[in-house]
């Protein structure tokens, strides 16, 4: 998609800033791609969709689209999104049942009638990075905690206690109650007999998603 040239000719010298500067690197959209996009504007949406699916969890898709002014949702019909929806439903059922329809971080368990509302199944290792649709790669989280988990504000340590990033700042009573006070608390669930988050997936999240250092545990 993207072509890099340097003073030495075509080809990227790597991602190091110094190399890029010293070799006079410049980049541009591949010309054939520019032509193809002019011929077939729908291509843009297909490319954006595969980039999102390959590199980001679904909970971040809508804000990434918003940030660049893309409206993908109204374009989506095809086969791929049907497969994705089916996959998501299966994972959701497994994970929400394992955690007995409660947020693993705060215990939130709201429902309208018999239908849970505001609860989601989060992938610990993102699907885009080889994370399976398994119970031991999932957490049942409320919408707020799902977003904060995918953004690296919250994590899980090796004793299945909640990590809160030192980079998170919030002084309102709500920010304290819903985020900073969680540091060091044990996860809620899963129910006995259901597999907790696997070591490998947890470690991946801590390495790749969680931001900076965790705050010290808040005394109970
Ligand atoms: Zn929650």
What are the tens digits of pLDDT across the range 153-190?
999 999 999 999 999 999 999 999 999 999 999 999 99
Distance (angstroms) between ligand 1 centre and the Cα of 100 equals: 13
pLDDT tier at 133, thresholds 50, 70, 90 = very high
Please give the Cα distance from 69 to 83 (Å, whole number).
Answer: 25
* pLDDT, position 79: 59
Distance (angstroms) between ligand 1 centre and the Cα of 27 equals: 43
Please give the Cα distance from 105 to 57 (Å, whole number).
Answer: 19
47-56, 91-100, 172-181: which has the minimum mean pLDDT?
47-56
Distance (angstroms) between ligand 1 centre and the Cα of 117 equals: 12
Distance (angstroms) between ligand 1 centre and the Cα of 182 equals: 10
Distance (angstroms) between ligand 1 centre and the Cα of 107 equals: 6
* pLDDT, position 149: 98
Distance (angstroms) between ligand 1 centre and the Cα of 9 equals: 53
Distance (angstroms) between ligand 1 centre and the Cα of 118 equals: 9
Pick the more confident residue, 88 or 102: 102
pLDDT tier at 52, thresholds 50, 70, 90 = confident
Distance (angstroms) between ligand 1 centre and the Cα of 19 equals: 45
* pLDDT, position 108: 98
Average pLDDT, the chain: 90
Q: Is the pLDDT of residue 200 over 90?
A: yes
Q: Is the pLDDT of residue 85 over 60?
A: yes
Mean pLDDT in residue range 95-117: 96
pLDDT, one tens digit per residue, over 115-129 is: 999 999 999 999 888
Q: Is the pLDDT of residue 76 over 70?
A: no
Residues around the ion ligand 1 (C-beta < 5 A): 103, 105-106, 108, 142, 145
């Amino acid at each position: 998609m993207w072509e890099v040239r340097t003073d030495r000719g075509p080809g990227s010298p790597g991602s190091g800033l110094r190399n890029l500067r010293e070799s006079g690197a410049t980049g541009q959209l591949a010309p054939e791609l520019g032509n193809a996009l002019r011929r077939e504007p729908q291509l843009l949406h297909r490319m954006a969709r595969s980039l999102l699916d390959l590199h980001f969890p679904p909970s971040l898709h809508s804000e990434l689209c918003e940030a660049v002014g893309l409206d993908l949702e109204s374009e989506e019909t095809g086969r791929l999104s049907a497969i994705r929806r089916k996959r998501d439903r299966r994972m959701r059922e497994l994970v929400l049942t394992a955690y007995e329809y409660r947020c693993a971080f705060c215990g939130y368990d709201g429902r309208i009638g018999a239908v849970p509302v505001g609860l989601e199944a989060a992938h610990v290792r993102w699907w885009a990075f080889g994370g399976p649709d398994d119970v031991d790669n999932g957490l049942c989280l409320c919408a707020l905690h799902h977003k904060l988990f995918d953004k690296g504000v919250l994590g899980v340590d090796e004793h299945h206690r909640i990590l809160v990033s030192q980079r998170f700042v919030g002084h309102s009573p709500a920010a304290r109650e819903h985020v900073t006070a969680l540091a060091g608390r044990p996860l809620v669930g899963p129910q006995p007999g259901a597999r907790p988050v696997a070591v490998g997936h947890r470690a991946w999240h801590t390495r790749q998603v969680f931001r900076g250092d965790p705050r010290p545990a808040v005394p109970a």
